[in-house]
Amino acid sequence: MLEYLVSAEFYQIMLFYVYSFILLGAAMAVVTMRNSIYSALFLILSFFSAAALWLLLEAEFLALTLVLVYVGAVMVLFLFVIMMLDIKVKPNKGMSSYTKVGLFVALLMLVEMMMLLGKKLIPALPQDDLVKHIKGHSNVKEVAESLYTQYVLPFELASVILLVAIVAAILLTLRKRKDYNHVKPESQVHVKATNNRMRVVKMEAEKGNDIGGDS
């Protein structure tokens, strides 16, 4: 028994439960927090815990990409926008009628999903507790091989769609003021200080009164 308690397997299972608990708690906090800055910070925490769960699956590339893309870039911009907004924290006024309808819909969806999952998916789940790969297994290679061989067309298509979306979003928000004085750095660089802006005057050095020593 003691042997099991210090084994790597037990440690991994404990880590799984700890991170799952933090993930679920943080996800709940995202929607229940009144202050939107806290919501965003809890969303970061839940991304982070999800990445930790992926690490337990030995999918280190996916986990680190999740942290890099969602935590390191997307959520920074989220926080950026939320901090600029002037949001007043509203006092709690109990459940509105929308909340009741929402809860009902959510409950219905939960029952539906449980029926589906119970019927089809539970027998298909792996029975082993832990995912173990052979030594030298590379998650990067695994992801790359399926992305660039089997799914190369959908992958490239998705990237083109994203690119089009980026260009469209920039074009839609691009506005230029009529009185905008655009600075052209390339012509700024060509301004010669000695010819165009300044006149260097030669003059005799003035005689000081020898107080400052050699300065």
Partner 1 sequence: MIGDQVWLLFWTLIKIVAIVLPLIIVVAYLTYAERRVIGFMQGRMGPNRVGLFGFKLWGLAQPFADTVKLLLKEIIFPANANKFLFLMAPVITLATAFAAWAVVPFSDGLVLADINAGLVYILAMTSLGVYGVIIAGWASNSKYALLGALRSAAQIVSYEIAMGFALVGVLIASGSLNLSEIVNSQSGGIGSWFFIPLFPLFIIYFISGVAETNRAPFDVAEGESEIVAGFHVEYSGAAFALFFLGEYANMIMISALTAIMFMGGWLSPFTGDSLIAQPSILWFFMKTGFFLLLYLWFRATFPRYRYDQIMRLGWKIFIPITIVWIMVVAVIKVYKPEWIGG
CB of 99 to partner 1, least distance (A): 28
Paired tokens of 4: 């099991």
Measured from the Cβ of residue 48, the count of other Cβ atoms closer than 10 Å reads: 19
Of the ranges 17-25, 59-67, 117-125, 155-163, which one interacts with partner 1 (CB under 8 A)?
59-67
CB of 178 to partner 1, least distance (A): 19
Measured from the Cβ of residue 51, the count of other Cβ atoms closer than 10 Å reads: 22
- Any contact of residue 203 with partner 1 (CB under 8 A)? no
Residues whose CB is less than 8 angstroms from the CB of residue 23 and which lie 6 or more positions away in sequence, other chains included: 46, 49, 50, 53
CB of 8 to partner 1, least distance (A): 8
Judge whether 55 and 15 are in contact, CB under 8 Å.
no
Interaction pattern, residues 67-106, with partner 1; x per rule: CB under 8 A = xx--xxx--xx-xx--xx----------------------
Question: Which backbone phi and psi does 7 adopt, to 5 degrees?
Answer: -80, 160
Query: What is the C-alpha separation between 215 and 208, in angstroms, rounded?
Result: 11
Please select the residue that binds partner 1; options are 91, 185, 208, 212, rule is CB under 8 A: 185
Residue numbers at the binding site for partner 1 (CB under 8 A) = 2-3, 6-8, 37, 41, 44, 60-61, 64-65, 67-68, 71-73, 76-77, 79-80, 83-84, 138-140, 183, 185
